[in-house]
Amino acid sequence: MQIRRSAIGPIAATLAGIIAVVAWGGVARSQQQDPPADQRPRFSQTGHLVKPVGWEAWVMVGSSTGLSYAAAPPPAAGAAPGMFHNVYVQPWAYREFDRTGAFPQRTMFVLSFYEASRKSAPARAGFYEGDRLGAIEVHLKQAGIDKTGWGFFGFGDSAATAAMIPAAAPCYSCHATEAAHDQVFTQFYPPLRERLARAAAH
């Protein structure tokens, strides 16, 4: 008995040590940093999302032009391909995603829209982002807000707050079935899809 106990003791201690280290690693990894106050989603007393401020200075993860959700005929030769879309995410959420490979609760994406413009010299061909349309759309990750775990919000030009777009809207079904990762179109956002590809390669 004496011999067996002394043999098991060190093994048990080592095992306990390993378990503690693994558990601590898990806790440290899953521990989510809180967003700074100016990047936090805020709600009005009526439960509407307050339009985010300062998103122009967030991380721009992708841009597209003429990306049509419906089967549309191609633009005529020389015509603008359609509006530009820019996609921004809070710097805090970007860092968390980079660290963990997952979007943290309270992630907000902003989609903004620009006319395709070609008026400026010395450009002789091609299009750049012209005037911005006033409206923006927001995609917010918040557990329980919808069965997908995300809510959509549309802010008109002068809207300070917006009610959540109802769950039956096509926003939810298209994002749920077509978006590459957790309701988000990461396939169109280079830094996010590269991060996911790195994770998949491990």
Q: Which residues of this chain interact with ligand HEC, rule CB under 6 A?
A: 64, 67, 69, 85, 87, 109, 111, 137-139, 152, 154, 165, 169-171, 174-175, 178, 184-185, 188
Taking the least distance from each CB to ligand HEC, the nearer of 139 and 195 is: 139
Q: Measured from the CB of residue 192, what is the shortest distance to ligand HEC in angstroms?
A: 9
Which residue, 23 or 169, is less far from ligand HEC as judged by CB? 169
40 phi, psi to nearest 5 deg:
-90, 135
- Closest distance to ligand HEC from the beta carbon of 45 (Å): 23
Which residue, 186, 180, 148, 184, is CA-closest to 167? 148
Please say which residue, 38 or 72, places its beta carbon nearer to ligand HEC.
Answer: 72
Q: How far apart are CA 184 and CA 34, in angstroms?
A: 21
**If we measure between CA atoms, which residue out of 135, 168, 138, 136 comes closest to residue 150?**
138
Minimum distance, C-beta of residue 173 to ligand HEC, in the bound complex (Å): 7
Are 92 and 36 a contacting pair, CB within 8 Å?
yes
Distances in whole angstroms, Cα of residue 1 to Cα of each of 4, 10, 14: 5, 15, 20
The nearest distance, CB 113 to ligand HEC, in angstroms, is 9
Q: Toward ligand HEC, which CB reaches closer, 56 or 178?
A: 178
Nearer to ligand HEC, 9 or 170 (CB): 170
Minimum CB distance to ligand HEC, residue 174 (Å): 3
Residues in the chain, overall count: 202
Q: Please give the Cα distance from 67 to 3 (Å, whole number).
A: 73
**In the numeric block, which tokens belong to residue 95?**
């860092």
